[in-house]
Amino acid sequence: MSSYDVEPISLAAVEGYHGGTGTFDREQLIVNPSSVPGTGNLAFLQANVHVTTKLYQITQQVVPNWFGVAIPENVTDFSHPNIFFHPSPGQAGYKDSDYPTKSGQWPELFYYMELLGYQLDGAIKNFSAPLNQVVIMPFLTTAATTTGIFPPNWHDILTDILTDVRNSMGVNGSGPVDIAEVVVSSFSVGYVYSENFRAAASGLTSLLKQVWDFDGYPKSDSGKLVTTPNVTAIKYDQGSEAGCFHLPLSRWVGYPNPTPDPADWPAPKTGSDVHRSIRDYMFLDAATRR
């Protein structure tokens, strides 16, 4: 049990960002993973996807003290969490001074739970990805590049969260969830959080099986991430970084234009669009490689 008080809380919808905590489904574009390796055009299809999103809070004033959770439909095994690190929030205007009260833009950041959870659900239902994937995202300040209190306490905090998630989803189980393996993932400059967390997290070495890097920055850091005998690195970029699936703009010409649903982003036209699209579509591909 964690030495911090962890409790579930609700979050209201933020128009234009997310529907709040709850259960959601929609039709959306997903990538076909068979088209990701190589140099050919990416292929897309329309799929119905489903996710339940939850939010947990540490009652003490620490960083992190919010944790978003995304659970695909029909998941019954909660012992294989994926710890996702968002990019540095300051670059999007989030203020560290608003963090203690989660005022300002902070509630908007919860949009990642629907975004990533839908991709996991699409991977499971359409491409037989393992039915044991749950995302947990700590909300981190710009200043907390070393991920605050998380490294020495991550296991107990996640055990509390995963056990409550299992019980609230109506899955039978006795005692706390026993974490069997961990994936650590990140997008863009969230790689800095990922790198620092993995270097300092107590007891992570024996449980860490994969690290996912979605066009991570700075490249001087993400370029050092390689597969080892114990940990598989799954990486995506726009260029020629070693060990990556390369996804330059030229490979996105098969993206539907216009999209079947106006809620989907339009076809990528710039490197910045591709950067965002790697986040929006390759999480599904990585989920099929667990």
In angstroms, rounded to a whole number, what is the distance separating the alpha carbons of residues 114 and 236?
Answer: 21
Torsion sign, CA atoms 245, 255, 286, 283:
positive
Amino acid occupying residue 143: A
Q: What CA–CA distance (Å, rounded) separates 263 from 266?
A: 9
d(CA 18, CA 114): 7
Q: What would the mean pLDDT of 62-66 be, rounded to a whole number?
A: 98
For the chain, what are the domain ranges?
A: 6-287
Which CATH number applies to 6-287?
3.40.50
| pLDDT of residue 176 exceeding 80 | yes
CB distance 69 to 7 below 8 Å = no
Each residue of 72-125: pLDDT tens digit? 999 999 999 999 999 999 999 999 999 999 999 999 999 999 999 999 999 999
Indicate yes or no: pTM above 0.75: yes
pLDDT digits (tens, 9 = 90+) for 198-242: 999 999 999 999 999 999 999 999 999 999 999 999 999 999 888
Beta-sheet pairing, 44-58 with 22-31: antiparallel
- Three-state SS across 112-170? HHHHHHHHHHHHHHHHCCCCCCEEEEECCCCCCCCCCCHHHHHHHHHHHHHHHHHHHCC
Indicate the average pLDDT of the chain: 96
